Amino acid sequence: MAKYSNWVKKAEVPDIVNYYAFSGNKKKKEILNLLFCLFMFFVHIVSGLINPPSSHSFLVFYPYAFIFLPFAFLLYASVRLFVLPETITKKQWDKSLGSLKHSDIGLIIVSGICVVCEIVFISTHISDLKDSASMTVELLFCGLQIVLLSSSVLYGFFYDKNFSGK
């Protein structure tokens, strides 16, 4: 019986090491995080609505389409922040704040691939884009993808400042 009494005593002690607490104003961080994610999602949707000729090519379409996956996880984790308490466990951190970090890394990678593929498309189809309207649309799409890439990198700095505890 004494063998199990020590185990029960240890189980009743809270695991302080695996708890994380938000510092500062949690509501402000949640709202800023959601606005940042919605801005990036808006830029992505607008870039798709201009319908450049490159969007008909698999080279640009697939990276653009795969950006929705990290966005889905990023927006889900951003909304999930609103229901978290001030102090969270390691499991809650992994599902919310950890997911934000990994989704942003995925977003940076896929949007970077999209920018590179768009530049490759423009450089290989320069003769097909002779009229200024289609070239303007292509450059606008590429510019919006660069804005998305740079804003996701800035979101990484925002995350480090507000959620990583550094």
How many domains are contained in the chain?
Answer: 1
Q: Which two tokens stand for residue 108?
A: 């940076």
How many CB atoms are closer than 10 A to CB 58?
A: 9
How far apart are alpha carbons 163 and 117 in whole angstroms? Answer: 32
For 87, the enclosing helix (H) or strand (E) is: strand 87-89
In a domain, 31, yes or no: yes
Residue whose token pair is 């996880």: 73
CATH label of the domain that carries residue 86: 1.20.120
How far apart are alpha carbons 42 and 48 in whole angstroms? Answer: 10
What is the extent of the structural domain holding 152? 24-162
In a domain, 69, yes or no: yes
Per-residue pLDDT of the chain (166 residues; tens, 9 = 90+): 445 444 444 444 455 556 677 777 878 888 999 999 999 999 999 998 998 888 888 989 999 999 999 999 999 988 888 888 877 777 777 778 888 889 999 999 999 999 999 999 988 888 777 777 888 898 999 999 999 999 999 999 988 888 776 5
